[in-house]
Amino acid sequence: MDYENNDVYEEDVRDFDVDIEQRKALIEEAKQIEDTGDWSALNRELSDLQRRWRRIYYWESAYEDTLEEEFDALIDKFYAKRRELYASVEETKKDLIKQAKALMNSTDWNRATEAMKDLMTQWKAAGSAGKEKDDVLWEEFNVARNTFFDRKHTHWEDMQTKFEQARKVKEELIEEAKKLEDSTAWQASGNAFKELFARWKEAGSAGREYEDDLWNAFHASRQKFYAARDAYYDELHEKQDALYQQKEELLAKAKEIAENTLFTREDTAAMKQLSVDWKAVGFTGKERDDEIWKAFRDVMDTYFAGLKQFNESKHAQWRQRMEDRRMRKTELIQEQKRQIQRIERDMVALLGERAIEDAKERIADKEDFIKTLEAEIEELDKALAQ
């Protein structure tokens, strides 16, 4: 009987040893597990080890407890690392959510779209924070993304409407420009083109599909008009340059005459003719024409002011001569009257008839002379009165 009990005991010891070896083997297997970063595969492997550990009979020995502590520590090391990684991923995804929320109300559509795509790439590369947290975090992240892309889609639809409106406006402007492209009303049409261009800019974009073709059509009419206008003004400026040279020559002649200060009839006639010639030359361009006209007008004013002064001086001299002549004639009349009085006094003493007749003849001659002088004075007075 005792022998039989010993056999059972030995068999139990052998089973205990086998179980211990199995636990040690599982510990060694746990030590050999590599962290590949594939948590799904690693979780399956760890779960399998734990399941196999639990299937081993527990003998309630202290040694088994020691082995289990070692085994659990190895397993916990992996789960602790996973928890640490989950926490890191969670922080990463929360930061991505924060960035997405900062972008979701942006109106810088192109930049924000690229940024949102980049955030999505980072989200996919971030890994898992655990299924439960992944779902919650994804929902929050996706709400921010959808908010932005819904706004972008609404904006795109609004832009399409605006593009269509702008296209219609610009097509109308092109037609108006075509009506003006052959115009020769340079100033009025030039102003009209400026107005059309301002309206073109106010219309906004018609979208990439149409904008370039619309602009090329509109710009072609503008360029056609401006090229014709430039050619016209180039030719006009050449003519005006030639006319300006003629006016410079007339100005030089006027200066030469004015500087002589002779004020002859010939010079005055020449100056008057220069004014006639000036008007016949025509317009040389507003800015230059005003300037050279002022110079010409100043020379003319200087000459004719000098002529006026010269004539007034001559007239004053003539008037003085006339008054001097009148005075001499007046004095001569007085002298003739005094001589007549002397002759009349002397006649009282005359006895001979012949002498008396001579005296009377002399008186008559002097009276005739006085009448002639008075007539001349009258003419002088008339001249002076004028």
Supply the pLDDT for residue 118: 94
Supply the pLDDT for residue 36: 67
Supply the pLDDT for residue 386: 80
Supply the pLDDT for residue 132: 81
Supply the pLDDT for residue 133: 85
- Coil, strand or helix: which one is 263? coil
Supply the pLDDT for residue 13: 64
Supply the pLDDT for residue 35: 67
Residue boundaries of the structural domains of the chain: 2-87, 243-314, 325-385
Instruction: Give me 49's structure tokens.
Output: 């080890």
Supply the pLDDT for residue 278: 94
Instruction: Give me 380's structure tokens.
Output: 């002088």
Spatial distance between the Cα atoms of 45 and 360, rounded to a whole number of angstroms: 180
Supply the pLDDT for residue 179: 94
Supply the pLDDT for residue 175: 95
Which residues of the chain fall short of a pLDDT of 50? 1-9
Supply the pLDDT for residue 3: 37
Supply the pLDDT for residue 9: 47
Supply the pLDDT for residue 73: 84
pTM attached to this predicted model: 0.48
Handedness of CA 221, 224, 226, 229 (dihedral sign): negative
Supply the pLDDT for residue 60: 87
